Amino acid sequence: MHIGGSAALVGGGASGLGAATARRLHAEGAHVVIADQNEERGTALAAELGDRASFALTDVTDPAAVQSAVDVAREQPAPLRIAVSCAGIGWAGRVVGRRGAHALEPFETIIRVNLIGTFNVMRLAAAVMVENEPTEAGERGVCVNTASIAAFDGQIGQIAYSASKGAIVSMTLPAARDLAPLGVRVCAIAPGTFDTPLLAALPEESREELRRVVPFPSRFGRPDEFAALAQHIIENEMLNGEVIRLDGALRMPPR
């Protein structure tokens, strides 16, 4: 899939992995629509990128809001062929802790944002992609979703987050199979510990411990490295139905 001359929708594109991806795709010539709840950051990034960049205020858990963002992408002077979902939140809590059973509300919220939000972006963007004229290879679009190594190596207290990311892993292959006859590919990236706003909130002592346990390179991943992999997935038409760990060989310990 050629990035230049395509429209790209980036869910959660105002910061972190999403912002890096939006920048990368824009630099490669895409018409980028940044879909995010953070209007201040989203409009600032769109202004920074300039031509071929726009912002759509979007709550990914709201189908109508996601549809509006998809419509903005559809109105670009290039077909919507790329959708990258990076919107996500975290929560720490054990199944049973000192205060009793894990509260249901935060569990539901994590599932709604991380899983249902990703599904909304994928399904509504793909519904537009299938109407595109196919490329010479028969492609009409590519969806790249964001899982996590927590899907495989969930730590103590990550029950909600791991469940949401594990579901993204599990839906990758059936989504790819569903969309294969229509010329739309689906892959997921499972990042390890990346230097994003989510990790920036941790105390420096905790950050240093997380850096130390990465085998090589012993550091946090950079958002531009995530964006580089997203670009490769988009451009490599043989990548389909795959979940790729991007983690420096990290296997998370129980805690």
- DSSP E strands: which ranges in 102-162? 141-146
Q: What are phi and psi of 203, to 5 degrees?
A: -60, 150
156 as an active site residue: the answer is: no
Structure tokens, 137: 């290879």
Pick the catalytic residue: 161, 194, 220, 226?
161
Tell which residue, 66, 58, 167, has the closest CA to residue 110.
167
Contact 25, 8 (CB under 8 A): yes
- How distant, in Å, are the alpha carbons of 141, 147, 150 from that of 209? 40, 22, 17
Structure tokens, 191: 């990042």
Tell which residue, 63, 252, 64, has the closest CA to residue 165.
252
* Residue appearing with tokens 């975290």: 90
* Residue appearing with tokens 């795709």: 25
Q: Quick check: bond before 217 cis, omega within 30?
A: yes
State the burial class of residue 133 (Cβ atoms within 10 Å of its Cβ: 0-12, 13-18, 19+): exposed
Which residue numbers are catalytic? 161
